[in-house]
Structure 1
Amino acid sequence: MGVRRTLVGLTFCTCYLAFYLLNKYVLSVLKFTYPTLFQGWQTFVGAFLLHVSWKLGWVEINCSSRSDVSTWLPASVVFVGVIYAGSRALSRLAVPVFLILHNVAEVIVCGYQKCFRKEKTSPAKTCSALFLLAAAGCLPFNDSQFDPDGYFWAVIHTCCVGSYKILRKSLKPNTLSDIDQQYLNYIFSVALLTIASHPTGDLFSVLDFPFLYFYRFHGSCCASGILGFFLMFTTVKLKSLLAPGQCAAWIFFAKVVTAALSVLLFDVVLTSATVGCLLLGGLGEALLVFSERKGS
């Protein structure tokens, strides 16, 4: 059983690494900045592969209850905000910066639990939230590649991620599994992003994209969609096999490796102040992992 958990963890880390680096390549190097189309494609591939897996009997999907579907609808709406704003932010920000800002979603969840649900918070978790918030707050003033639009969309992305996590805990119907939720997210995202592609201008602007007929662009998009599906699947598997603390440790490890390799593969300028912010954010997430392992 221990070997199986390790293999699932390593598979998750590989998918996480490949997914984020490939997305960064498409968004920043190829400059395919048409989020309704890019995210619409990824969610379409995810929905298709999940549907095929269901028909082949590899996964079980149960979304027949209209009440459960309507209950989950607000979370699916927020999920669209997560992937749309995340795509806009990642296209403009360095991967380590994006991941540090993404982590602030945990501060939102922690604040909600403490202020509205009156849950007790351990000192480690409180320090973690403070470090994550301080790291994200200092980054804009110390980032030599500061991009105001990138930070704006990162804030939207972070708020959506925090809201999604809160909704996921408070709205989760008993009959909807993690796979059911993701299936509904995919279906709703495809529909909404397809409709939004015209008013946002992406539908016709993409015709001017210089790499539209290049094989490396087609291959990268196909691989990105498939990797997104496998990342979702391995994340669900990881959470089902491991305790929350162990799962958080694997996610932290995947983020560290992804951030480190992105510095080698992409044009990232790191000053001592920026590195300090990143290390502070890493310390904050490490404390979060510690608090999860302690069961707080």
Structure 2
Amino acid sequence: LKFTLAFILFRWQTLIGGLLLHVSWKLGWAEINSSSRSDVSTWLPASVLFVGIIYAGSRALSKLAIPVFLTLHNVAEVIICGHQKCFRKEVNDNTKCYALFLLAAAGCLPFNDSQFDPDGYFWAVIHLFCVGAYKILQKSRKPNALSDIDQQYLNYMFRGVCTIVSLLLCPSGDLFRVPDFPFLYFYRFHGSCCASGILGFFLMLSTVKLKSLMAPGQCAAWIFFAKV
């Protein structure tokens, strides 16, 4: 499990995000209709990829600088572009140039990274492949299937189950190392993790709202600026 800063941060985000979404559903602020077993089972591979995104990302972030990780993370767009080119033939020249630019930037990183860590790059590559596959599955879903809120709710639930199972099955040595985590008893650290989960939750709700009100191009631009 490796109790690193990224590991703790992502677990806090899971707890806070899942709890807020469940409370919003119970209070009627968010509509969740994930009662169809066929829809839930169809989305299960995407939830597995979502957990892979989080786990591989946390492992990569524990070893790589944030700018390096973000540059590699953006290469997932190349995977999506390649899928569209092979199966949908919907790629224009601007998108091709954008994908090549991202690929070139990521390719130069290992030769210019003074803190090069092969293990970190390994987990970053797994992370970007999971991100690309997840977005492809998300775009290929049927229009009458699960909504964005349903998908996120199932992701939170599956991620929570995986976290509990991993804690129960992990080697005892990992659990014994928890008291050695340097920020374990710092309330500011845990408060910042909670704030990150809250902000991530509202960003997710805002993204869903934007998708329902704006054209795809405008929505993509706003999401990009929000992430920046």
With normalisation by structure 1, the TM-score equals 0.70
**What is the aligned-residue identity percentage?**
75
Matches within 5 A, 1:127-276: 127-172=97-142, 174-201=144-171, 202-255=174-227, 258=228
Contact 2:7 2:58 in 1 (8 A): no
Letter in 1 for 2:166: A
Contact 2:18 2:157 in 1 (8 A): yes
Residues 59-117 of structure 1, C-alpha deviations (whole Å, 9 max, x = no match): 111011111111111000000011111122223323222222111111101111212x1
Report deviation, 1:199. Answer: 4.0
Q: Which deviates more, 193-202 or 67-76?
A: 193-202
> Equivalent of 1:123, from 93, 106, 118?
93
Whole-Å separation in 1 of the counterparts to 2:163 and 2:141: 23
Whole-Å separation in 1 of the counterparts to 2:3 and 2:165: 19
Letter in 2 for 1:61: I
**Structure 1 alignment gaps of length 5 or more:** 1-30, 259-296
Report deviation, 1:158. Answer: 0.4
Report deviation, 1:229. Answer: 1.4
Residues 104-153 of structure 1, C-alpha deviations (whole Å, 9 max, x = no match): 111101111212x1423211111111111111111111122322222221
Letter in 1 for 2:214: L
Report deviation, 1:212. Answer: 1.5
Q: What's the RMSD between the two structures over aligned residues?
A: 2.2
2:10 paired residue number: 39
1:279 paired residue number: none
Pairing 1:88–2:59 present? yes
Whole-Å separation in 2 of the counterparts to 1:230 and 1:178: 14
Whole-Å separation in 2 of the counterparts to 1:172 and 1:90: 34
Secondary structure (helix, strand or coil) at the match of 2:30 reads: coil
**Structure 2 alignment gaps of length 5 or more:** none
Q: Which runs of 4+ in 1 moved over 6 A?
A: none
2:75 paired residue number: 104
Contact 1:37 1:194 in 2 (8 A): no
Count of residues in correspondence between the two structures:
225
1:210–1:95 CA distance, 2 compared to 1 (3 A): closer
Report deviation, 1:55. Answer: 1.3
With normalisation by structure 2, the TM-score equals 0.89
